[in-house]
Amino acid sequence: MSPLILFLSFLTPITALEFRYHDNSEIKDYLTQISTSNPNITYLYSIGQSVTGQELWVLALGLSPRRHTVGIPEFKYVANMHGNEVLGRVLLLQLIDDLVRGYRNNEKWALYLLNSTRIHILPTMNPDGFDSSDTDCLFSQGRFNHNGIDLNRNFPDAFAGLRRRQQLDEEKREPEVKAVIDWLRTESFVLSANLHGGAVVASYPYDNSNGGSELVNGASVSPDDDVFIHLAKIYSYKHASMHQGERCRDSRPFLDGITNGYQWYPLEGGMQDYNYVWAQCLELTLEVSCCKYPPVKELPALWTDNREALLAFIQQVHLGVKGRVFDSSGVPVHNAVVEVRGRNNMCPFRTNQHGEYYRLLLPGNYSFTVTYPGHEVLTETLTVPYGPDYYSALKHDFQLRQLAMTTGRTLPTSPSPTCNYTRIVEAGGDVNRLAWTELTAGLGLVMVLRSLSD
Ligand SMILES: *[C@@H]1O[C@H](CO)[C@@H](O)[C@H](O)[C@H]1NC(C)=O
Ligand SMILES: *[C@@H]1O[C@H](CO)[C@@H](O)[C@H](O)[C@H]1NC(C)=O
Ligand SMILES: *[C@@H]1O[C@H](CO)[C@@H](O)[C@H](O)[C@H]1NC(C)=O
Ligand SMILES: *[C@@H]1O[C@H](CO)[C@@H](O)[C@H](O)[C@H]1NC(C)=O
Ligand SMILES: [Zn+2]
């Protein structure tokens, strides 16, 4: 081999990825090439198939890309769930390229990030929709999946009311949505964002409400509102212009470039509420371009606008506290409930199968309560620093003590109820929900227009 060819073959895998719209099979080829040439830090897997049978490919990056490591939080980015909102596909491929090159070039930011975090990237959640989309900036051709369903309206919704929820459960869930739901069961994701187009704003839960106590001044406020606002501002302020409240056509300006999802417009069956309520994964909806299908020549600048924000947002997975819960004999326990005073999550946060919990919190003092059958309720106050600066949340394990009175008896192995809908329904209930439905019926046309805008 001549020195020149040797030089070129060494150079090839680390030259920058071309700025253009790769089609679904090109994305697959690119991910395959990356994963075979970087097996130590990447791993390619599929979470399922689209309606027409296209694989939903995910690239995992990290020092242990194939499996979870205790203490290393799981993070994910999802793009293109609306098939015609395509910038996210480009951004996530560029992000992969950037992370891998950064690592190979021994750049500190990439080493720290991949050493501390496992990052999962799904460049397209709706490959069928992409195939049928046109390149229009505004229209919604290609938004839906092959069955004509809006994937961001097809998730279970805690606010839908008991009757509606049962209806939704019985309905057929789209395969792309089912794949994501199963994915959330396999990995205990801590933080996530899903990328859209048609606006420039970072939107955070809740997207829905039933008119209960969560509804405050037109926003549907979650128990972790402070954390969500912080996360959304991280993205909007690290973005070149989002924080300036950029307006796309007729949209209203967004203060700081962020918005509560419901306050922007209510939607039922969205992915971010599902992630947060059911999978204890805090998720944002990032609207990254006014034009849903930006011209190719604008892609390099759009990447530059988003690059730092995408990286900084991943680093936020290190907010708060993480650790394990051990039973009286020193064994880490699954499904222990780990709650923070003042944060009544509908589905209380629970430890995963390794006995781990991850709790994103801003710096401050927090009172934790840990509950597990057969053991005393444990309460501890923790002082939480700003973890992202150190690429690690505060590490704290909880050591449970067996209940004296039940020693020797047969004990249940896990607490029974998973989610407590009473926490939202009690304050709102069906009466308010009725009023809300009537109100929104009057706004029907506005809602339909809005609902296709992101
Ligand atoms: C991958 O990791 C192994 C074990 O740590 C190491 O020996 C090998 O050099 C690494 N390969 C690359 C391409 O970095
Ligand atoms: C990677 O993380 C471990 C601890 O998890 C630490 O000891 C090591 O120094 C880190 N390496 C780099 C390059 O950050
Ligand atoms: C948290 O607790 C520590 C120790 O008790 C105290 O010094 C500190 O002022 C508290 N911080 C806040 C924000 O309350
Ligand atoms: C559910 O939440 C309500 C309101 O916070 C509370 O009164 C009730 O005890 C909870 N139920 C369970 C089973 O935790
Ligand atoms: Zn969208």
Query: How many A from CA of 321 to the centre of ligand 5?
Result: 32
Query: How many A from CA of 345 to the centre of ligand 4?
Result: 11
Report the atom number in ligand 2 closest to the C-alpha of 115. 1
Q: What is the DSSP string of 114-161?
A: HHH-EEEEES-S-HHHHHH----SS--TT-S-TTS--GGG-S--GGG-
CA 306, 312, 315, 320 dihedral sign is: negative
Averaged pLDDT for residues 416-441: 43
- Predicted confidence (pLDDT) at residue 340 exceeds the cutoff of 90: yes
What's the rounded Cα separation, in Å, for the pair 89 and 196? 10
**Could you say which architecture CATH assigns to the domain 321-415?**
Sandwich (2.60)
Least confident of 67-71, 375-379, 440-444: 440-444
Residues lining ligand 5 (ion), CB within 5 A?
Answer: 82, 85, 196, 454
Which residue's alpha carbon is at the smallest distance from atom 8 of ligand 4? 422
Q: What is the pTM of this model?
A: 0.89
Look at residue 53 and give its three-state secondary structure.
Answer: coil
What's the rounded Cα separation, in Å, for the pair 341 and 362? 14
Averaged pLDDT for residues 397-418: 66
More confident residue, 21 or 10: 21
- What was the pLDDT predicted at 281? 98
Domain boundaries, the chain: 20-318, 321-415
420 lines ligand 4 (CB under 6 A): yes
- Predicted confidence (pLDDT) at residue 421 exceeds the cutoff of 90: no
Query: How many A from CA of 333 to the centre of ligand 5?
Result: 39
pLDDT digits (tens, 9 = 90+) for 361-377: 999 999 999 999 999 99
What's the rounded Cα separation, in Å, for the pair 296 and 129? 19
Q: Which residues are catalytic?
A: 287
Rounded to the nearest 10 degrees, the angle between the axes of helix 299-315 and helix 225-238 is: 140
- What was the pLDDT predicted at 390? 96
**What confidence category does residue 169 fall into, taking pLDDT thresholds of 50, 70 and 90?**
low
- β-pair type (199-204, 258-260): parallel
Report residue 237 CA to chain centroid gap.
19
- What was the pLDDT predicted at 452? 62
Q: Which ligand is nearest to the CA of 133?
A: 5
Q: Which of 366, 383, 384, when mutated, tests ligand 3's pocket best, judged by the most ligand atoms within 8 Å of its CB? A: 383
pLDDT digits (tens, 9 = 90+) for 110-140: 999 999 999 999 999 999 999 999 999 998 8
Contact 323, 356 (CB under 8 A): yes
- What was the pLDDT predicted at 212? 86
**What confidence category does residue 186 fall into, taking pLDDT thresholds of 50, 70 and 90?**
very high
Query: How many A from CA of 198 to the centre of ligand 5?
Result: 7
**What confidence category does residue 11 fall into, taking pLDDT thresholds of 50, 70 and 90?**
very low
417 lines ligand 4 (CB under 6 A): yes
Mean pLDDT of the chain: 88
Report the atom number in ligand 3 closest to the C-alpha of 365. 1
Averaged pLDDT for residues 18-30: 98
- What was the pLDDT predicted at 100? 98
Report the atom number in ligand 3 closest to the C-alpha of 364. 13
pLDDT digits (tens, 9 = 90+) for 85-105: 999 999 999 999 999 999 999
CATH superfamily of 20-318: Zn peptidases (3.40.630.10)
The DSSP 8-state label assigned to residue 173 in this structure reads P
Averaged pLDDT for residues 200-228: 95
What's the rounded Cα separation, in Å, for the pair 124 and 128? 9
422 lines ligand 4 (CB under 6 A): yes
- Predicted confidence (pLDDT) at residue 271 exceeds the cutoff of 70: yes
Residue type, 342: G
36 lines ligand 4 (CB under 6 A): no
Averaged pLDDT for residues 348-362: 97
Rounded to the nearest 10 degrees, the angle between the axes of helix 108-116 and helix 299-315 is: 50
- What was the pLDDT predicted at 193? 98
Least confident of 49-63, 83-97, 200-214, 304-318: 200-214
Which residues, other chains included, contact 169 with Cβ-Cβ below 8 Å and sequence gap of 6+?
156
Q: With left for phi above 0 and alpha for psi between -120 and 50, is residue 273 left, alpha or beta?
A: alpha
Query: How many A from CA of 317 to the centre of ligand 1?
Result: 26
CA 24, 28, 31, 37 dihedral sign is: negative
Which residues, other chains included, contact 240 with Cβ-Cβ below 8 Å and sequence gap of 6+?
304, 305, 306
**Percent of the chain at pLDDT exceeding 70:** 83
What's the rounded Cα separation, in Å, for the pair 310 and 162? 37
Query: How many A from CA of 397 to the centre of ligand 3?
Result: 20
Averaged pLDDT for residues 149-165: 85
Ligand 2: residues within 6 Å at CB? Answer: 111-112, 115
**What confidence category does residue 61 fall into, taking pLDDT thresholds of 50, 70 and 90?**
very high
Contact 118, 68 (CB under 8 A): yes
Q: Which ligand is nearest to the CA of 265?
A: 5
Rounded to the nearest 10 degrees, the angle between the axes of helix 87-104 and helix 108-116 is: 100
- What was the pLDDT predicted at 420? 65
Which residue's alpha carbon is at the smallest distance from atom 8 of ligand 3? 365
More confident residue, 60 or 14: 60
pLDDT digits (tens, 9 = 90+) for 244-268: 997 787 667 899 999 999 999 999 9
Cα dist. 140→85, 145, 155, 200 in Å?
Answer: 9, 12, 20, 17
Cα dist. 440→210, 211, 273 in Å?
Answer: 12, 12, 20
Quick count: other Cβ atoms within 10 Å of Cβ 40?
Answer: 11
Q: Which ligand is nearest to the CA of 318?
A: 2
The DSSP 8-state label assigned to residue 218 in this structure reads T
- Predicted confidence (pLDDT) at residue 444 exceeds the cutoff of 70: no
Cα dist. 384→82, 225, 388 in Å?
Answer: 38, 17, 12
